[in-house]
Structure 1
Amino acid sequence: MPYTNEEGGLLNNFAREPKVYQAEPPTTGQKRTYIILGIAAAILVSGVVFVAFAVSNAS
């Protein structure tokens, strides 16, 4: 592990830095998957809101 000696004999440890790489843009298939997951999440959230609203007015 890389470390440095400071004044007074204190050791200062540093974490290893991860390798840096260039991010690649999403492919057409990945974009389609993101859209499908977004629609599914919107349907799920609106369904939960509808159920909560229906239960709160159920008396």
Structure 2
Amino acid sequence: MQVTEEDGGRLNAFAKEPRMEVIEDQSSRSKSSRLMIIVGGALVVALMAVTVAIS
């Protein structure tokens, strides 16, 4: 950790940050992410239908 001294003699410790990594661009929508969006949408619609049925 990097430690600096502030006014008044107080010490301030900074954590060591990890190095940044550049992630290569892949296809914008893979099959698994498309499936998750469809399943999530179906779940939202189902929950809304249950809410309407209950009320």
Pairwise same-fold verdict (TM > 0.5) = yes
The corresponding residue for 1:22 is 22
Q: Please state which structure has a larger fraction of its residues in strand.
A: 2
* Superposition pairs of residues 1-59 of structure 1, within 5 angstroms: 1-27=1-27, 31-56=30-55
Q: TM-score normalized by structure 1? A: 0.78
Q: May I ask how many residue pairs the two structures share in their alignment?
A: 55
CA distance in 2, matches of 1:14, 1:47: 48
Q: What is the CA-CA distance between 1:27 and the residue it aligns to?
A: 4.8
Gaps of 5+ in 2: none
CA distance in 1, matches of 2:9, 2:15: 20
Q: Please state which structure has a larger fraction of its residues in helix.
A: 1
Percentage identity across paired residues of the two chains: 33
Aligned-residue CA RMSD (Å): 1.8
Q: TM-score normalized by structure 2? A: 0.82
CA distance in 1, matches of 2:32, 2:26: 10
Q: Secondary structure at the match of 2:30?
A: helix
